[in-house]
Amino acid sequence: MHGVNRGLGRGWPGSLGAARLIWKWTRLPEVLLLSGAALTGFCLASDSLPDPLRLALLVLSVLACGGHIMIVNALLGRALLAADSETMDYPIRGAEWRPGALKLLAWVLLAVAMAGLVALAPGAALAGAGIVAVWFLYAHPVVRLKGRPFADTLVHVVAGLLQFFLGALAVPAVLDRRLWLWAVFPTLVLVAGHFHHVIKDVAADRAAGLRTVGVTLGSRSCFVIGSLVFLGAYLHLGWLLAAERWPRGALVLAALTAMSHVVAAVAFGARVSAGEAGAVVRYRATYRALSLLIGTAILWGCLASWNLLG
């Protein structure tokens, strides 16, 4: 750990500096939020209250896998990060960038993730390997799917499905029609967020020669498309909840969340469409917070299906 900290955590003594850097470069808060798809798949595929140990192992594996992906994406995108240090979420500052130490951390996290997923189920490990491979191709400077028109969007579609299936296969469960229909919701949410997120980086991506969907379509079109995809996701969720006759409270909570998202889209719409980076960040933080309410609604329904609500 000393090797990770030396020259990286400037002004942060000892292990505190290393912990700060692990927290920063693995982007654990964001990874935890994005792990909702896997946790949703795990809960929906379970016929009863999941084993706490299996759930804990899944969370650990998903966090390690996500942290690995974030570090690898940062390593492969160093030139872009350096060129756009004022607007990227995790800019390179001073002497804290040590590729060698981050590579070691990435390998350790991958080993932890795959060991945990193999222990859960082979299918979950395959899904995890698929997620790692897709994001590697997304960021690799030669393949660079991120810079190919609409290939970046396809990556988010595949990753969204695999994340949900990773959780379902960790039960393990058979991927029947019901689970495929449920997998559509988190996938649509991930794709919608992708259309909105790329708006912030349009200028930097264009300067780097990346033909992302944001560069190809423009900020306004991306905002409109992303908003329509979000609407489709909420409508699909409402249909699923109604079709499975989930508790009325879960339906009401999901509906209120959807309406709150519409209000946020209207409030931020003009500035986000104009490509204002700060507005994109604030809008994204808003709908990510709302996603926690959707998670609560889904958990509510799962608890009811497990006969734990009386």
Span 231-268, pLDDT tens digits: 999 999 999 999 998 999 999 999 999 999 999 999 99
pLDDT at 261: 94
* Residue 34 · residue 291 · CB < 8 Å: no
pLDDT at 34: 80
Count other C-beta atoms under 10 Å from residue 212's C-beta.
24
- Quick one: average pLDDT of 9-17? 52
User: Tokens representing 14?
Assistant: 């000892």
pLDDT at residue 86 above 50?
A: no
pLDDT at residue 161 above 70?
A: yes
All structural domains of the chain: 16-175 (1.10.357.140), 177-310 (1.20.120.1780)
pLDDT digits (tens, 9 = 90+) for 130-150: 999 999 999 888 888 988 889
Residue 147 or 87, more confident: 147
pLDDT digits (tens, 9 = 90+) for 274-310: 888 889 889 999 998 999 999 999 999 999 999 888 6
* Residue 96 · residue 50 · CB < 8 Å: no
To the nearest whole percent, how much of the chain has pLDDT over 70? 87
pLDDT at 137: 93
pLDDT at 79: 53
pTM of the model: 0.87
pLDDT at 11: 43
Long-range contact list for 221-226, CB < 8 A, 24+ apart?
Answer: 222/195, 222/196, 222/198, 223/195, 223/196, 223/199, 223/269, 223/272, 223/273, 224/273, 225/195, 226/192, 226/193, 226/194, 226/195, 226/196
Average per-residue pLDDT in the chain? 86
Residue 13 or 187, more confident: 187
pLDDT at residue 85 above 80?
A: no
pLDDT digits (tens, 9 = 90+) for 193-240: 999 989 988 888 888 788 899 999 999 999 999 999 999 999 999 999
Dist. CA 237–CA 111, nearest whole Å: 35
